[in-house]
């Protein structure tokens, strides 16, 4: 197989590990900067070019789409899909997961556990919005934030009102969420591939910090998930339509509560904490999907030839 890792930085840990896994399993691998791809759209002949080269030879892709390139990156993944190239994650699911509000609405509709979440646009609704999520302390999140950036813990109602009004004044879209005190600065990331949890870690925030993101100085260790946590992680990935996902959950008195479902979860933290070869699991999934598409293509060709022979 010819497999392309869509990444803007070939030196990132996740990108390098995926390349290693692809090559270890006997396939050809290319790192393609999706921000520099361009497409041709015409009847019956969709194309993608990269630095003057036609990418018609690519059999499968592993999208590593950054949040700042969600629109363009998803469009490139969608073009590969039109060309019948196998993708580790569908373009629609990538777009869906990047919209925090849409993600929460989908998960809520699927009956999955979530922190109570509020969303509004008018300053006049602030007091009721705060009451809606159980009052202070509460968490305020920028919809466009990643890696813990744009996430604020407001200890009091007065502080919450001030921060919310400031965000609104700057034209930012935000979510308001209840603060889960019993989590004590920890969360769980479950890595899901093809409907199975292939690795899980518990992340703990550094002292004086409530955000457990590793980019914010948090630490990680392997954790054994409960049956409920596994079910929640797998169900969340399925609800979002993702076949490769990092599902972040908070432990709470009412069970695991989903914080986020990430379509391009980093590999360094989870592989280091668990000692598991997560990259290999992703490539194995692609192999299986490619085999299915090739078998379907062979059957279709056989039927076509049989039909033509009768004419």
Rounded Cα distance, 79 and 38, in Å: 10
- pLDDT for position 311: 59
Take residue 290 and report the two structure tokens written for it. 């490619």
220 and 287 housed in the same domain? no
Residues 187 and 170 in one domain: no
CATH number, domain at 227? Answer: 3.30.470.20
Contact predicate 245/192, CB 8 Å: yes
Q: What is the CATH number of the domain that holds 61?
A: 3.40.50.20
Q: Which of these, 268, 263, 230, lies nearest to 249 by C-alpha position?
A: 230
The pLDDT, as a whole number, for residue 208 is 61
Instruction: Please check whether residue 311 lies inside any domain of the structure.
Output: no
Q: Which domain range does residue 261 map to?
A: 182-276
Give 135's DSSP letter: S
pLDDT at residue 52, rounded to an integer: 94
Does residue 97 form part of some domain?
A: no
- Please indicate, yes or no, if residue 102 is contained in any of the structural domains: no
Q: Rounded to 5, what percent of the chain is helix, strand, coil?
A: 40, 25, 35
| Closest CA relative to residue 173, chosen from 93, 118, 234, 108 | 118
Q: Answer yes or no: is 106 within a domain.
A: no
Out of 179, 200, 232, a domain closes at: 179
The pLDDT assigned to 305 comes to: 67
The tally of domains found in the chain comes to: 3
The CA distances from residue 309 to 231, 256, 300, 301, in Å, are: 50, 59, 14, 12
**Cα–Cα dist 85/270, whole Å:** 28
R_g of the chain computed on alpha carbons: 22
CATH number at residue 172: 3.30.1490.20
Same domain? For 80 and 145 the reply is: no
Q: Burial of 140 by CB count in 10 Å (0-12 exposed, 13-18 middle, 19+ buried)?
A: buried
What pLDDT was estimated at residue 303? 75
Given 179, 196, 231, the domain boundary residue is: 179
Instruction: List helix spans (H) across 142-277.
Output: 157-169, 227-240, 268-274
User: pTM value?
Assistant: 0.89
- Residues (pLDDT < 50) of the chain are none
Question: Residue 231: what pLDDT?
Answer: 97
Cα 63 to chain center, whole Å? 10
Domain stop point among 139, 156, 179: 179
């Amino acid at each position: 197989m010819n497999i392309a890792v869509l990444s803007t930085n070939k030196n990132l840990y996740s990108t390098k590990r995926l390349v290693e896994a692809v090559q270890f399993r006997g396939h050809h691998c290319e790192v393609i900067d999706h921000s520099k791809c361009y497409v041709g759209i015409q009847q019956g002949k969709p194309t993608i070019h990269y630095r003057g080269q036609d990418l018609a030879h690519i059999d499968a892709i592993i999208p590593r789409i950054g949040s700042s390139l969600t629109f363009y990156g998803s469009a490139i993944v969608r073009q590969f899909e039109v060309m019948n190239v196998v993708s580790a994650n569908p373009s629609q699911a990538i777009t869906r997961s990047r919209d925090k509000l849409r993600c929460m609405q989908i998960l809520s509709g699927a009956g999955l556990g979530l922190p109570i979440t509020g969303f509004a646009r008018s300053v006049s609704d602030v007091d009721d919005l705060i009451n809606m999520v159980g009052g202070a302390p509460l968490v305020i999140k920028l919809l466009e934030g990643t890696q813990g950036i744009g996430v604020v813990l407001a200890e009091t109602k007065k502080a919450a009102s001030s921060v919310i009004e400031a965000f609104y004044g700057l034209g930012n879209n935000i979510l308001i969420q209840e603060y889960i005190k019993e989590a004590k600065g920890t969360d769980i990331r479950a890595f899901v591939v093809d409907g199975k949890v292939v690795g899980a870690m518990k992340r703990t925030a550094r002292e004086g910090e409530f955000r457990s993101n590793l980019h914010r100085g948090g630490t990680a260790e392997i954790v054994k998930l409960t049956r409920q946590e596994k079910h929640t992680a797998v169900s969340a990935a399925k609800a979002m339509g993702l076949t490769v996902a990092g599902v972040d959950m908070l432990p709470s008195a009412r069970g695991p509560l989903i914080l986020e479902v990430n379509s391009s979860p980093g590999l360094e933290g989870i592989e280091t904490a668990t000692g598991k070869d997560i990259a290999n699991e992703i490539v194995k999934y692609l192999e299986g999907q490619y085999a299915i598409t090739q078998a379907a293509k062979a059957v279709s060709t056989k039927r076509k030839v049989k039909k033509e022979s009768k004419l």
